């Protein structure tokens, strides 16, 4: 193994063959014993490593896929990233992280940039879906998979959770625990999960013949821990729920903090259920009951869909829905 740049040409010179032969040998195409031998030796001695960029330009593939998520601070996106990376890496693809904010403009920009061909496809998990974004998604000529809901009629591969049903599981569980004043701590209403989860809450409450009052509902300005603190404070100032369904785990942990800070007990005084079933559910004290929306599974599925689409651009569009499950822990069940 030697120093310096080595190219096909240099290997070819050293082996005394043509660059075509070198390329063949290195790509496992048929070649004579003798040439194979010499090429391998020459490549080894020169420490030859094929250039990814040149290869990409030639074959029209970068072996990279891009992932864009809204909020890297949210553990659910971290687990998605992890899951996606596992799938694509084992298929020989690299993962390019295109962190965008929750601003749709960022995503639109990203979609445009993708046409520069630095990646073979994109997995996008938008928090807010605007008409502009949809337009751009429609127009995108690159393999694209959306994690999350999309309006009917947008023919793009996508995989989403049934978060309405998920909220339903949470409400029903709390009802079965004897709770009747079940509040809902939501994230911003102008987001896709925000609206879906609210719908789920309203429906579940109605189904159970529980009164739906506005003082039992509060909307955090963001799906973050800090926003959750403020929102929970507001909620407890305007009503006295005996249970709170939270739109994600970060909000739930924030709620727990405020509740305990007020000298109330979880779950005795207020039962708590989060959503996403992230790692922090176990770190929490008491451990947080949470609705598992299958984020890792969704991410894996999305990655596989994308790889399949890259492989065959003409395959039928697929839309998969992952069913939620409830993971009961300590925050919602009074022991004994």
Q: Which residues are at the interface with a copy of itself (CB under 8 A)?
A: 3, 47, 49-54, 56-57, 62, 64, 72-73, 75, 78, 81-82, 85, 89, 94-99, 112, 115-118, 141, 225, 250, 253-254, 256-257, 260, 279-280, 282-285
Establish whether the linkage from the previous residue to 158 is cis, with ω within 30° of 0: no
Report the residue from 1, 3, 4, 58 that binds DNA according to the rule CB under 7 A.
58
Minimum distance of DNA from residue 118's CB (angstroms): 12
Stretch that binds DNA, among 52-60, 71-79, 118-126, 219-227 (CB under 7 A): 52-60
Q: What's the rounded Cα separation, in Å, for the pair 187 and 118?
A: 34
Q: Residue 132 binds which one of DNA, a copy of itself, none, with CB within 5 to 8 A depending on kind? A: none
Structure tokens at 134: 């949809």
Q: Which of 91/210 has CB closer to DNA?
A: 91
Q: Which of 60/316 has CB closer to DNA?
A: 60
Report the residue from 13, 40, 45, 55 that binds DNA according to the rule CB under 7 A.
55
Q: Which of 55/94 has CB closer to DNA?
A: 55
- Exposed, middle or buried, 199 (CB in 10 Å: 0-12/13-18/19+)? middle
Residues 18-37 that bind DNA (CB under 7 A): 18-21, 23-24, 26-27, 30-32, 34-36
* Cβ atoms of 301 and 314 closer than 8 Å: no
- What is the CB neighbour count within 10 angstroms for residue 82? 14
Beta strands 325-327 and 289-292: pairing type?
antiparallel
Structure tokens at 1: 């193994």
Minimum distance of DNA from residue 101's CB (angstroms): 28
Q: Residue 138 binds which one of a copy of itself, DNA, none, with CB within 5 to 8 A depending on kind? A: none
* Cβ atoms of 71 and 126 closer than 8 Å: no
Q: Which of 29/97 has CB closer to a copy of itself?
A: 97
Q: What's the rounded Cα separation, in Å, for the pair 9 and 25?
A: 14
Q: Which of 23/140 has CB closer to DNA?
A: 23
Q: Could you tell me which of 220, 225, 227, 228 has the C-alpha nearest to residue 187?
A: 220
Minimum distance of DNA from residue 54's CB (angstroms): 3
**Residue 325 neighbours by CB under 8 Å, 6+ apart:** 169, 291, 292, 294
Minimum distance of a copy of itself from residue 52's CB (angstroms): 4
Examine residue 206 and tell whether it contacts DNA (CB under 7 A). no
Minimum distance of a copy of itself from residue 85's CB (angstroms): 5
Minimum distance of a copy of itself from residue 67's CB (angstroms): 8
Q: Which of 58/152 has CB closer to DNA?
A: 58
Q: How many CA atoms lie within 13 A of 243 on its CB side?
A: 26
- Exposed, middle or buried, 265 (CB in 10 Å: 0-12/13-18/19+)? exposed
Examine residue 62 and tell whether it contacts DNA (CB under 7 A). no
Q: Residue 101 binds which one of DNA, a copy of itself, none, with CB within 5 to 8 A depending on kind? A: none
Per-residue contact string for residues 158-197; x = within reach of DNA by CB under 7 A:
----------------------------------------
Examine residue 50 and tell whether it contacts DNA (CB under 7 A). yes
State the DSSP string of 183-230.
Answer: EEEE--TTSHHHHHHHHHHHHHHHHTT----GGGEEE-SSSSHHHHHH
């Amino acid at each position: 193994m030697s120093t310096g740049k080595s190219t096909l040409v240099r290997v070819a010179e050293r082996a005394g063959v043509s660059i075509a032969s070198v390329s063949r040998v290195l790509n496992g195409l048929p070649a004579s014993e003798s040439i194979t031998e010499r090429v391998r030796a020459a490549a080894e001695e020169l420490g030859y490593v094929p250039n990814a960029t040149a290869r990409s330009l030639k074959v029209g593939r970068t072996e990279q896929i891009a992932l864009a998520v809204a909020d890297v601070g949210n553990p659910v996106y971290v687990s998605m990233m992890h899951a996606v990376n596992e799938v694509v890496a084992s298929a020989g693809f690299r993962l390019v992280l295109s962190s965008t904010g929750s601003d749709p403009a960022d995503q639109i920009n990203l979609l445009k940039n993708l046409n520069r061909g630095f990646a073979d496809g994109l997995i996008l998990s938008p928090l807010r879906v605007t008409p502009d974004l949809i337009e751009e998604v429609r127009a995108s000529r690159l393999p694209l998979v959306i994690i999350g809901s999309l309006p009917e009629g947008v023919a793009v591969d996508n995989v989403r959770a049934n978060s309405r049903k998920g909220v339903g599981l949470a409400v029903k569980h709390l009802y079965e625990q004897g709770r009747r004043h079940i509040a809902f701590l939501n994230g911003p209403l102008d987001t896709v999960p925000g609206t879906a989860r609210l719908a789920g809450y309203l429906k579940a409450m109605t189904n159970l013949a529980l009164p739906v009052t506005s003082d039992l509902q509060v909307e955090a300005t963001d799906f973050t821990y800090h926003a959750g603190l403020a929102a929970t404070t507001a909620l407890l100032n305007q009503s006295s729920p005996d249970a709170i369904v939270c739109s994600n785990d970060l909000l739930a942990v924030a709620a727990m903090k405020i509740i305990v800070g007020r000298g109330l007990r979880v779950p005795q005084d207020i039962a708590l259920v989060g959503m996403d079933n992230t790692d922090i559910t176990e770190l929490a004290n008491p451990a947080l009951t949470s609705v598992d929306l299958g984020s890792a599974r969704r991410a894996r599925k999305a990655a596989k869909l994308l790889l399949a689409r890259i492989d065959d651009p003409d395959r039928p569009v697929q839309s998969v829905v992952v069913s939620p499950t409830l993971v009961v822990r300590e925050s919602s069940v009074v022991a004994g």
